[in-house]
Structure 1
Amino acid sequence: MSDYGYKIPALNDGEVFRNEIVIKKSRFITSAGHTRGVAEAEAFLARIRQEFADARHNCYAFNAGKGNETAFIGCSDDGEPKGTAGRPMLNVLVHSGIGEISIVVTRYFGGILLGTGGLVRAYQDSVKEILTALPLKDPENLEEIRFTADLARMHILEELVRKYGGRVISRDFSGTCCTYTVTADAVKAAFLKKDLERLNQTAQVS
């Protein structure tokens, strides 16, 4: 176990790590990505769904926070019988000691019914196999920053966050404003805060 209490995928931004198993002629294609926060998790899920748009099931589980923070956890059976895919996948994920990760298991039906127990085992095994092979590393030394911006300035401020290598973790819209949670390298965070305050003088940056 890492000194941080958890590991993260050692993957580049946008990189997809993939594994496939076949059970009774059904193909289970598992895709994993490094996703820091719910916004990145949702973007990853949408990307995989689009790639495998012809599949009947793109079941997923994500643990996109630091360890097992409930606000950053989600799953879906995506049309499989309730409780046979998303929740079993998530159970494996939250006990793996890995954070900032999203996993999608795409199933192509092979013509042989697996039954509810068979589906649970298949989706769990898909996650277990990819986690066994997935390269891991310690989390980066990041600082979390929160600020509120007018909707008209969102584009400018998000560009600034990207300039410093930061990531948007969440956006909370309210009226004409958006409250951001972002992360940035601890060394760069102080400079990012100063520029955010300079460009966004009406909002408090913390």
Structure 2
Amino acid sequence: MYTVIKEGYGEYEVKKSKFISYVVPYENFEGKLEHLKTEHPKARHIVWAYRHLQEDQQIDENCTDDGEPKNTSGKPTLNILYHNDIINTAVFTVRYFGGILLGTGGLVKAYTESANRALNDATVIDTAKLYKKPVKIGYDKINHLEYLAGIYYLKIVKREFLGTYVIFTLQGQKEVIDRLEMEVGK
């Protein structure tokens, strides 16, 4: 299985309709959806799909056509994640209608193409290569660690506040976590 550690972006235009896709880590799903609604108030549709591995190791999948004909947008988007064996990832596609109907086949092709372009732009990693490591820091370095974790696309899995220090459990590529640990330790 694979997951996205850095967002991706892709566009596709056909018959004056514009499709703008974003691939994001699942934990950013709600925030990204709200952001897109604000950023694209005149868009006709915001289609999304996600696959998320739950604690019981079951994969939760969901998608929406957001007003497009049934199974012409959300399901093809979800299929991209499924066929690439990607989890803990969401895909959004914003559509600006160009005035020309594309038909069901045209919609499937357009949503698929736009989402694939975004996925190709994203950084994807084999989940087996994800590494977890606890990093112990003083309270004065919390903001710096959180800032660097965002820049390096590391996931903060857990925070433990203990007396005079904090333990952050980070998940990502081992060499990136090691680099962050060295920078925060300075």
Give the shorter-chain TM-score range.
0.5 to 0.7
The alpha carbon displacement at 1:142 in A equals 4.7
Q: Could you tell me which residue of structure 2 aligns to residue 170 of structure 1?
A: none
- Listed as ranges, the matches of 1:1-206 within 5 Å are 6-11=1-6, 16-36=7-27, 40-65=28-53, 69-71=58-60, 73-139=61-127, 140-142=130-132, 165-166=156-157, 184-185=169-170
Show structure 1 runs of 5+ residues with no match.
1-5, 144-161, 168-183, 187-206
Please state whether the residue corresponding to 1:165 is helix, strand or coil.
strand
Runs of 4+ aligned residues of structure 1 deviating over 6 Å after TM superposition are none
C-alpha distance in 2, partners of 1:69/1:43? 24
Q: Could you tell me which residue of structure 2 aligns to residue 191 of structure 1?
A: none
Please state whether the residue corresponding to 2:104 is helix, strand or coil.
helix
Deviations 1:154-180 (A, max 9, x none): xxxxxxxx9x9336xxxxxxxxxxxxx
C-alpha distance in 1, partners of 2:84/2:18? 24
Structure that is richer in strand per residue:
2
How many residues matched?
Answer: 139
Please state whether the residue corresponding to 1:166 is helix, strand or coil.
strand
Contact 1:9–1:101 (Cα < 8 Å) also in 2: yes
Contact 1:44–1:102 (Cα < 8 Å) also in 2: no
CA-based RMSD: 2.8
Give the percent of matched residue pairs that are identical in Structure 1 and Structure 2.
Answer: 34
C-alpha distance in 1, partners of 2:65/2:58? 21
Please state whether the residue corresponding to 2:53 is helix, strand or coil.
coil
Show structure 2 runs of 5+ residues with no match.
134-145, 147-154, 159-168, 172-186
Please state whether the residue corresponding to 1:64 is helix, strand or coil.
strand
C-alpha distance in 2, partners of 1:53/1:69? 35
C-alpha distance in 1, partners of 2:11/2:80? 17
